[in-house]
Protein backbone atom coordinates (compact mmCIF):
# COMPACT_ATOMS: atom_id res chain seq x y z
CA UNK A 1 0.00 0.00 0.00
CA UNK A 2 1.31 3.42 -0.97
CA UNK A 3 0.89 6.46 1.28
CA UNK A 4 0.25 10.03 0.28
CA UNK A 5 1.60 12.79 2.48
CA UNK A 6 -0.58 15.69 1.49
CA UNK A 7 0.51 19.27 1.74
CA UNK A 8 -1.30 22.59 1.56
CA UNK A 9 -4.43 22.47 -0.59
CA UNK A 10 -4.89 18.72 -0.75
CA UNK A 11 -7.40 17.83 1.94
CA UNK A 12 -9.09 14.92 0.17
CA UNK A 13 -8.72 13.06 -3.11
CA UNK A 14 -11.77 12.78 -5.35
CA UNK A 15 -10.92 9.46 -6.97
CA UNK A 16 -10.60 7.65 -3.62
CA UNK A 17 -13.33 6.44 -1.26
CA UNK A 18 -12.83 6.58 2.51
CA UNK A 19 -12.48 3.23 4.28
CA UNK A 20 -11.37 4.00 7.83
CA UNK A 21 -9.35 6.35 9.99
CA UNK A 22 -6.41 4.89 11.91
CA UNK A 23 -5.02 6.55 15.03
CA UNK A 24 -1.39 5.50 15.25
CA UNK A 25 0.53 5.89 18.49
CA UNK A 26 4.22 6.72 18.01
CA UNK A 27 7.15 7.30 20.38
CA UNK A 28 7.46 10.85 19.01
CA UNK A 29 4.12 12.48 19.89
CA UNK A 30 1.74 12.54 22.85
CA UNK A 31 -1.24 12.43 20.52
CA UNK A 32 -1.77 9.65 17.99
CA UNK A 33 -1.26 10.47 14.30
CA UNK A 34 -4.48 10.23 12.25
CA UNK A 35 -4.06 8.45 8.94
CA UNK A 36 -7.04 7.90 6.61
CA UNK A 37 -7.22 4.65 4.73
CA UNK A 38 -8.79 5.12 1.31
CA UNK A 39 -9.55 2.89 -1.64
CA UNK A 40 -9.48 3.43 -5.39
CA UNK A 41 -11.29 0.37 -6.76
CA UNK A 42 -9.49 -2.54 -5.08
CA UNK A 43 -6.36 -0.48 -4.39
CA UNK A 44 -5.85 0.76 -0.83
CA UNK A 45 -3.93 3.93 -0.08
CA UNK A 46 -3.02 5.73 3.15
CA UNK A 47 -3.54 9.48 3.36
CA UNK A 48 -1.78 11.70 5.88
CA UNK A 49 -2.25 15.48 5.89
CA UNK A 50 1.23 16.77 6.71
CA UNK A 51 0.03 19.94 8.47
CA UNK A 52 -2.30 18.02 10.79
CA UNK A 53 -6.06 18.00 10.98
CA UNK A 54 -7.44 21.42 10.06
CA UNK A 55 -4.08 22.47 8.52
CA UNK A 56 -2.83 24.11 11.72
CA UNK A 57 0.88 23.22 11.87
CA UNK A 58 3.36 25.53 10.08
CA UNK A 59 6.25 23.78 8.27
CA UNK A 60 8.77 24.16 11.12
CA UNK A 61 6.31 22.79 13.72
CA UNK A 62 5.26 19.65 11.82
CA UNK A 63 6.13 16.48 13.71
CA UNK A 64 7.92 14.85 10.78
CA UNK A 65 9.29 12.00 12.90
CA UNK A 66 5.85 11.02 14.21
CA UNK A 67 4.29 11.24 10.72
CA UNK A 68 6.85 9.00 9.01
CA UNK A 69 6.91 6.59 11.96
CA UNK A 70 3.11 6.25 11.77
CA UNK A 71 3.30 5.32 8.09
CA UNK A 72 6.02 2.74 8.77
CA UNK A 73 3.88 1.33 11.56
CA UNK A 74 0.98 0.91 9.10
CA UNK A 75 3.27 -1.08 6.83
CA UNK A 76 3.17 1.21 3.78
CA UNK A 77 5.43 0.24 0.87
CA UNK A 78 6.30 3.77 -0.24
CA UNK A 79 5.40 7.44 0.13
CA UNK A 80 4.30 9.99 -2.44
CA UNK A 81 4.72 13.49 -1.02
CA UNK A 82 2.53 16.19 -2.52
CA UNK A 83 4.03 19.67 -2.12
CA UNK A 84 3.02 23.16 -3.15
CA UNK A 85 6.17 25.03 -4.14
CA UNK A 86 7.48 28.27 -5.60
CA UNK A 87 8.96 27.99 -9.09
CA UNK A 88 12.55 29.12 -9.75
CA UNK A 89 13.27 27.22 -13.02
CA UNK A 90 11.99 29.12 -16.05
CA UNK A 91 9.69 26.23 -16.93
CA UNK A 92 8.13 26.07 -13.48
CA UNK A 93 5.61 28.87 -13.47
CA UNK A 94 2.33 28.62 -11.57
CA UNK A 95 0.29 25.46 -12.36
CA UNK A 96 3.33 23.49 -13.61
CA UNK A 97 4.38 20.25 -11.93
CA UNK A 98 7.83 18.93 -11.02
CA UNK A 99 9.06 15.53 -9.90
CA UNK A 100 12.36 16.58 -8.32
CA UNK A 101 15.43 14.37 -8.10
CA UNK A 102 17.55 16.37 -5.65
CA UNK A 103 17.25 18.42 -2.47
CA UNK A 104 19.26 21.16 -0.79
CA UNK A 105 18.34 21.58 2.87
CA UNK A 106 18.33 25.13 4.27
CA UNK A 107 16.21 24.32 7.34
CA UNK A 108 17.44 24.46 10.92
CA UNK A 109 16.33 23.37 14.37
CA UNK A 110 13.98 20.62 13.21
CA UNK A 111 14.05 17.12 14.72
CA UNK A 112 15.66 15.61 11.68
CA UNK A 113 16.75 12.08 12.60
CA UNK A 114 15.67 8.94 14.41
CA UNK A 115 19.34 8.23 15.13
CA UNK A 116 19.85 10.74 17.94
CA UNK A 117 19.43 9.02 21.31
CA UNK A 118 20.10 5.65 22.94
CA UNK A 119 22.26 4.52 20.04
CA UNK A 120 24.35 1.34 20.03
CA UNK A 121 26.53 3.09 17.47
CA UNK A 122 26.56 6.31 15.43
CA UNK A 123 24.42 5.76 12.34
CA UNK A 124 24.64 7.50 8.96
CA UNK A 125 22.40 6.91 5.95
CA UNK A 126 23.31 7.25 2.29
CA UNK A 127 21.36 10.17 0.85
CA UNK A 128 23.16 10.69 -2.47
CA UNK A 129 19.83 10.41 -4.25
CA UNK A 130 17.18 11.57 -1.78
CA UNK A 131 14.24 10.33 -3.86
CA UNK A 132 13.47 6.71 -4.76
CA UNK A 133 14.11 6.37 -8.50
CA UNK A 134 11.52 3.61 -9.11
CA UNK A 135 8.78 5.62 -7.44
CA UNK A 136 9.89 8.73 -9.32
CA UNK A 137 9.63 6.87 -12.63
CA UNK A 138 6.12 5.65 -11.72
CA UNK A 139 5.16 9.25 -11.02
CA UNK A 140 6.71 10.48 -14.27
CA UNK A 141 4.88 7.80 -16.24
CA UNK A 142 1.53 8.59 -14.53
CA UNK A 143 1.87 12.31 -15.25
CA UNK A 144 3.01 11.67 -18.86
CA UNK A 145 0.03 9.38 -19.57
CA UNK A 146 -2.41 11.82 -18.06
CA UNK A 147 -0.90 14.61 -20.12
CA UNK A 148 -1.21 12.53 -23.32
CA UNK A 149 -4.79 11.44 -22.59
CA UNK A 150 -6.19 14.68 -21.30
CA UNK A 151 -4.40 16.59 -24.04
CA UNK A 152 -4.24 19.17 -21.31
CA UNK A 153 -1.65 21.87 -21.03
CA UNK A 154 -0.28 20.00 -18.06
CA UNK A 155 3.40 20.94 -18.02
CA UNK A 156 5.97 19.22 -15.85
CA UNK A 157 9.68 18.86 -15.19
CA UNK A 158 10.83 15.28 -14.65
CA UNK A 159 13.79 16.35 -12.50
CA UNK A 160 14.91 19.34 -10.48
CA UNK A 161 16.52 20.50 -7.27
CA UNK A 162 14.15 21.27 -4.39
CA UNK A 163 15.50 23.91 -2.01
CA UNK A 164 13.91 23.47 1.41
CA UNK A 165 13.68 26.72 3.36
CA UNK A 166 12.67 27.16 7.00
CA UNK A 167 9.57 29.30 6.60
CA UNK A 168 6.91 30.00 7.50
CA UNK A 169 7.65 33.28 5.77
CA UNK A 170 8.34 33.24 2.05
CA UNK A 171 11.86 34.11 0.87
CA UNK A 172 13.36 37.49 -0.02
CA UNK A 173 14.26 38.18 -3.64
CA UNK A 174 17.97 37.99 -2.71
CA UNK A 175 17.49 34.62 -1.03
CA UNK A 176 15.89 33.29 -4.21
CA UNK A 177 18.79 34.66 -6.29
CA UNK A 178 21.14 32.74 -3.97
CA UNK A 179 19.04 29.57 -4.21
CA UNK A 180 19.10 29.86 -8.00
CA UNK A 181 22.90 30.22 -7.92
CA UNK A 182 23.03 27.14 -5.72
CA UNK A 183 21.16 25.25 -8.45
CA UNK A 184 17.66 25.14 -6.96
CA UNK A 185 14.75 24.82 -9.41
CA UNK A 186 11.92 24.90 -6.91
CA UNK A 187 11.51 26.07 -3.34
CA UNK A 188 9.33 24.77 -0.55
CA UNK A 189 9.38 24.32 3.21
CA UNK A 190 8.49 20.73 3.95
CA UNK A 191 10.62 18.19 2.06
CA UNK A 192 13.16 18.14 4.88
CA UNK A 193 13.54 16.35 7.16
CA UNK A 194 10.62 14.33 5.75
CA UNK A 195 12.62 12.75 2.91
CA UNK A 196 15.59 11.90 5.13
CA UNK A 197 13.41 10.33 7.82
CA UNK A 198 11.72 8.16 5.19
CA UNK A 199 15.18 7.01 4.07
CA UNK A 200 16.19 6.28 7.68
CA UNK A 201 13.18 3.97 7.97
CA UNK A 202 13.92 2.50 4.50
CA UNK A 203 10.67 3.78 3.00
CA UNK A 204 10.85 4.67 -0.73
CA UNK A 205 9.87 8.34 -1.08
CA UNK A 206 9.17 10.53 -4.13
CA UNK A 207 7.51 13.92 -4.62
CA UNK A 208 4.89 15.43 -6.86
CA UNK A 209 5.34 19.20 -6.59
CA UNK A 210 2.91 21.79 -7.89
CA UNK A 211 4.25 25.27 -8.51
CA UNK A 212 1.75 27.73 -7.08
CA UNK A 213 3.75 30.96 -7.59
CA UNK A 214 6.93 32.31 -9.09
CA UNK A 215 9.47 32.40 -6.26
CA UNK A 216 10.15 35.82 -4.71
CA UNK A 217 11.51 38.44 -7.09
CA UNK A 218 10.87 36.40 -10.24
CA UNK A 219 7.62 38.17 -11.10
CA UNK A 220 6.59 41.77 -10.73
CA UNK A 221 5.38 42.83 -7.30
CA UNK A 222 4.62 40.83 -4.20
CA UNK A 223 3.46 37.22 -3.98
CA UNK A 224 -0.30 37.12 -3.60
CA UNK A 225 -1.81 34.49 -1.29
CA UNK A 226 -5.10 34.77 -3.16
CA UNK A 227 -3.31 33.82 -6.38
CA UNK A 228 -1.58 30.91 -4.62
CA UNK A 229 -4.89 29.53 -3.32
CA UNK A 230 -6.47 29.90 -6.75
CA UNK A 231 -3.68 27.88 -8.44
CA UNK A 232 -3.82 25.32 -5.62
CA UNK A 233 -7.56 24.83 -6.07
CA UNK A 234 -7.20 24.30 -9.79
CA UNK A 235 -4.06 22.12 -9.58
CA UNK A 236 -5.17 19.71 -6.87
CA UNK A 237 -7.84 18.18 -9.14
CA UNK A 238 -5.05 17.07 -11.46
CA UNK A 239 -2.97 15.89 -8.51
CA UNK A 240 -5.85 13.60 -7.51
CA UNK A 241 -5.93 12.08 -10.99
CA UNK A 242 -2.17 11.48 -10.99
CA UNK A 243 -2.43 9.81 -7.60
CA UNK A 244 -5.27 7.54 -8.72
CA UNK A 245 -3.12 6.49 -11.65
CA UNK A 246 -0.01 5.81 -9.66
CA UNK A 247 -1.96 3.82 -7.08
CA UNK A 248 -3.20 1.58 -9.89
CA UNK A 249 0.19 1.37 -11.67
N1 LIG B 1 8.62 29.54 -1.16
C2 LIG B 1 8.61 28.56 -0.24
N3 LIG B 1 7.61 27.70 -0.11
C4 LIG B 1 6.57 27.83 -0.94
C5 LIG B 1 6.50 28.82 -1.92
C6 LIG B 1 7.58 29.74 -2.04
O7 LIG B 1 7.61 30.65 -2.88
N8 LIG B 1 5.32 28.68 -2.57
C9 LIG B 1 4.69 27.62 -2.00
N10 LIG B 1 5.45 27.09 -1.02
223 C-alpha vs ligand 1 centroid, how far in Å?
10
86 lines ligand 1 (CB under 6 A): yes
What was the pLDDT predicted at 12? 74
- Residue spans of the domains in the chain: they are 2-115+126-247
State residue 180 phi and psi, 5-degree precision.
-65, -40
Residue numbers in the chain where pLDDT is lower than 70:
151-152
pLDDT of residue 152: 66
Q: How many residues does the chain have?
A: 249
Given this model, what pLDDT does residue 234 score? 87
Between CA 164 and CA 182 the distance in angstroms is 12
pLDDT at 13: 78
Q: Which of 62, 187, 217, 226 should be mutated for ligand 1, with most atoms under 8 A from CB?
A: 187
Output 14-23 pairs: Cβ under 8 A, ≥24 positions apart: 14/237, 14/240, 15/40, 15/240, 15/241, 15/243, 15/244, 16/40, 16/45, 16/47, 16/240, 16/243, 16/244, 16/247, 19/44, 22/46, 22/74
Model-level pTM greater than 0.85?
yes
Q: pLDDT (tens digit, 9 = 90+) per residue, 53-93?
A: 777 889 999 999 999 999 999 999 999 999 999 999 999 99
Task: Tell me yes or no: is domain 2-115+126-247 CATH 3.40.50.1580.
Answer: yes
Q: What is the pLDDT at residue 1?
A: 94
Amino acid sequence: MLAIIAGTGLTSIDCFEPVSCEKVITPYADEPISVSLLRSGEIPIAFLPRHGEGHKLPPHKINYRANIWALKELGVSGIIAVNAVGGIHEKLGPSCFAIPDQIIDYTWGRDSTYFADNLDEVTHIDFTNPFDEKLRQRLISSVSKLKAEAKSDLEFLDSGVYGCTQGPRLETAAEIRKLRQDGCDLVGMTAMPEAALARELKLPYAMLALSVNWAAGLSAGEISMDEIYKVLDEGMGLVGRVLARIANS
